[in-house]
Amino acid sequence: MRPRFITLEGGEGVGKTTNLDFIEDYLRARGIDVLRTREPGGTTIGEGVRDILLKSSTMDRWTELLLVFAARAQHISEVIRPALVSGKWVLSDRFTDASHAYQGGGRGLDTAVIEQLEAWVQLELQPDLTLLLDAPVELGMTRARSRGETDRFESERLEFFENVRAAYLARAERFPERIRRVDASDSLAAVQARIAIHLDALLVAE
């Protein structure tokens, strides 16, 4: 079985961390060697960029986009490609769909520019499966803010997150073979049952 690249996407408060744990355990239980990582982050450089992105009080939206792709370039060259070449499956908390959603939808940046950066940085690399955890924005934000202190993104206005969600759903419509929407407003058991169906389909695919 060839190694696969799986990404988990969604807005704030949709349960990504809990479900990343589930996905990792589900794959390992089936004898798959999994490398788990995240964006922005995954490398020393990427984690430094993440800290800047989450804590800076002011940042130009183009600076934000370019920092995200700079971290992604390092992530791909240092972590993702080597892991796939070595036969590991890669499970990433966010990837480029997040740039289309947050910087494209949320910040209103030109999709064509994001696509150009994507082509330069990723070349042919795309996830084999993207699981999009989707829930109404108000529900997600209530969950996110109940965790306590919020970062720069979590502190954005409701309109920002509505635009993020709309961009994610548009991506899912555009790439239905890769992006699978999962209703994250349902019970955890129901969410994970749906995730398992998508993982099983990937496991039997050639």
Q: What is the pLDDT of residues 119-172, one digit of tens each?
A: 999 999 999 999 999 998 888 777 777 776 666 676 678 899 999 999 999 999
Banded model confidence at residue 58, pLDDT cuts 50, 70, 90: confident
pLDDT value for 19: 97
The residues spanned by each domain of the chain are 5-204
Q: Which one has a higher pLDDT value, 44 or 139?
A: 44
Express as a percent the part of the chain with pLDDT over 70.
Answer: 95
Q: HEC states along the chain?
A: CCCCEEEEEECCCCCHHHHHHHHHHHHHCCCCCEEEEECCCCCHHHHHHHHHHHHCCCCCHHHHHHHHHHHHHHHHHHHHHHHHHCCCEEEEECCHHHHHHHHHHHCCCCHHHHHHHHHHHHCCCCCCEEEEEECCHHHHHHHHHCCCCCCCCCCCCHHHHHHHHHHHHHHHHHCCCCEEEEECCCCHHHHHHHHHHHHHHHHHCC
Ranking 49-58, 76-85, 92-101 by mean pLDDT, the lowest is 49-58
pLDDT value for 149: 63
Fold designation for 5-204 = Rossmann fold (3.40.50)
pLDDT value for 156: 74
